[in-house]
Structure 1
Amino acid sequence: MTDNDTFIPRIEEEAARLAALATDLSVPVPTCPGWTFGELVTHVGRTHRWATHVLRDQVQERIWSRQVPSGLAEGQNGDAAWLLAGAADLLDVLRTTDPALEVWTWGPDRRAGWWPPRMLFELVIHRADAELALGLDPVIPAATAVDGIDEFLHNLPYATWMASSLAELGAEGATIHLHASDVDGEWTITQGPAGAVTCERGHTKGDAAVRGPASELLLLLYGRRPLESAAVFGDRDLLTRWLAAAAF
């Protein structure tokens, strides 16, 4: 991952792309079951306001997005203008915040620099949700997708809400290998005890392996693509169960 100057224009672009898609807030979003565009926009906008609050107030203790004021009435959904207003505030804060500043995060890096990539890929994946809902094929540049896979796997061991689902797999010691076919990128995930996971870059032989374009691997990790979108080798059942348990 790189510094804020790299992420800021990408966050701005992705926010604008999502807002442009959000013209009918009643459209259902199949990749986020039970959500419409209204719920999708509200989720993303609340997430932006959450990050802004953490960075602006230099929050040191755990706080979640629903604890941060959104400017919406109870039960009200945001719209495209509300989304863009929150993104603008976030971008202003990112431009003036030292990435080395110590703040709370739910990931391994307790510093402000953790937040820009998290906000970028929150937008990339939910922009893809919106496009898929409209019958469009999401385009994610390979380099961006590689960054997204790195970010997902970097944070995955700290996503404690997944631990119970991963523990129920009964797959301790199992390995999953991801191999990008269109750019340099290979990763190995090892399932540990009690739902713990470790992730590392590099080529190894896994119990299950999946190979495909980096963008498809990223969407697969987030549960936005079926396994049929990539080539699968080895234990397909393990891969299917693991992806279902680990999807954000």
Structure 2
Amino acid sequence: MDRTDYIAALRRDSARLAAAAEGGLTARVPSCPDWTVADLVWHTGVVHRFWRLVAAGEIAGPEQHTEPSRPPEPDLVAWFAEGAERAAAVLEALDPALPRWSWADRADAGFIQRRMAQETAVHAWDAVNAAGRDEPVERLLALDGVDELLAHFLPPVPPAGLAAAGLHLHATDGAAGEAGGEWTLRAVDGGWRIGHEHGRGAAAVRGTASDLLLLLWGRRPAERLDVFGDPDALKAYLAGFARG
């Protein structure tokens, strides 16, 4: 995926989030049980604002960011939609190679473009799910989201006791012979080894790209996918991911 894809996804999924939130701001968010839909909208809007300011070069990191005042509930969705478009417009204009602060080992505008598309996709799913619908994350974005999560959201050092044979993930909704859609994650010599070959692990999970992404982000229970091998090995690997 490239900048154009990410910005289109950011706009599309921001609109989905806003539409799902309209009229249901007091509902609880099952995938974020401490939040109402209003809290979800507020959180995502603040994230958009923070990264827009970083991308625009107005701040150099979180120590320079001041959280805005939260709008009253009747104005919250409109505030979110306006901020999402401002973020999309700023990110759309930037060369992905432009150096910018990030918390990851990749520090450029391209990281932010990708992160905002992925953050928004998962939180749009949260909002739609809170409205009683289960709509998948778009397939190519979900595949990219698994890649992003494995690249940037693993702890620096693997937890002790992970099965050496690793965890294998297989997206089942690709066309026959299509590249991509498989990942093998192993803890090796105090670090991580990620492969894309077809293979087996101590545990293996098969499902759509969306379901795999939602599983890794703690939104989809493993029981909703096809799981093979050692369920304890799967649980141990999944416990290592940083989630939000």
**What's the TM-score once normalised by structure 1's chain length?**
0.86
Separation of aligned partners in 2, 1:9 and 1:27: 28
After superposition, the C-alpha distances for 1:192-217 in whole angstroms (9 at most, x for unaligned) are 466x4332322232111101111111
After superposition, the C-alpha distances for 1:200-245 in whole angstroms (9 at most, x for unaligned) are 3222321111011111111111111111111111111121232234
> What's the CA shift for 1:173?
3.4
Map of 1:16 onto structure 2? 15
Contact kept, 8 Å, 1:221 with 1:243, in 2: the verdict is yes
Map of 1:175 onto structure 2? 166
Contact kept, 8 Å, 1:221 with 1:247, in 2: the verdict is no
Q: 2:235 aligns with which of 222, 235, 240?
A: 240
Cα root mean square deviation, aligned:
2.3
Map of 2:184 onto structure 1? 188
Separation of aligned partners in 1, 2:137 and 2:166: 26
Percent of aligned pairs sharing the same letter: 39
Contact kept, 8 Å, 1:223 with 1:244, in 2: the verdict is no
Pair 1:49-2:21 in alignment: no
> What's the CA shift for 1:46?
0.9
Map of 1:71 onto structure 2? 68
Q: 1:88 aligns with which of 85, 98, 116?
A: 85
Separation of aligned partners in 2, 1:119 and 1:200: 25
> What's the CA shift for 1:102?
0.7
**What's the TM-score once normalised by structure 2's chain length?**
0.87
After superposition, the C-alpha distances for 1:144-175 in whole angstroms (9 at most, x for unaligned) are 22121112112124x56xx6xx52x5226351
The alignment covers a number of residue pairs equal to 236
Map of 2:215 onto structure 1? 220
Separation of aligned partners in 2, 1:82 and 1:96: 22
Specify the SS of the correspondent of 2:39. Answer: helix
Specify the SS of the correspondent of 1:79. Answer: helix
Would you tell me which structure has more helix in proportion to its own residues? 1
After superposing the two structures, state which structure 1 stretch, 147-156 or 208-217, moved more. 147-156
Contact kept, 8 Å, 2:29 with 2:127, in 1: the verdict is yes
Map of 2:194 onto structure 1? 199
Residues 78-117 of structure 1 mapped to structure 2, 5 A cutoff: 79-117=76-114
Pair 1:25-2:22 in alignment: no
Contact kept, 8 Å, 1:172 with 1:193, in 2: the verdict is no
Contact kept, 8 Å, 1:58 with 1:103, in 2: the verdict is no
What amino acid maps onto 1:26 in structure 2? Answer: T
Specify the SS of the correspondent of 1:233. Answer: strand
Map of 1:210 onto structure 2? 205
* Structure 2: segments with no counterpart, 5+ residues: none
1:113–1:58: structure 2 CA closer, same or farther, 3 Å change rule? Answer: farther
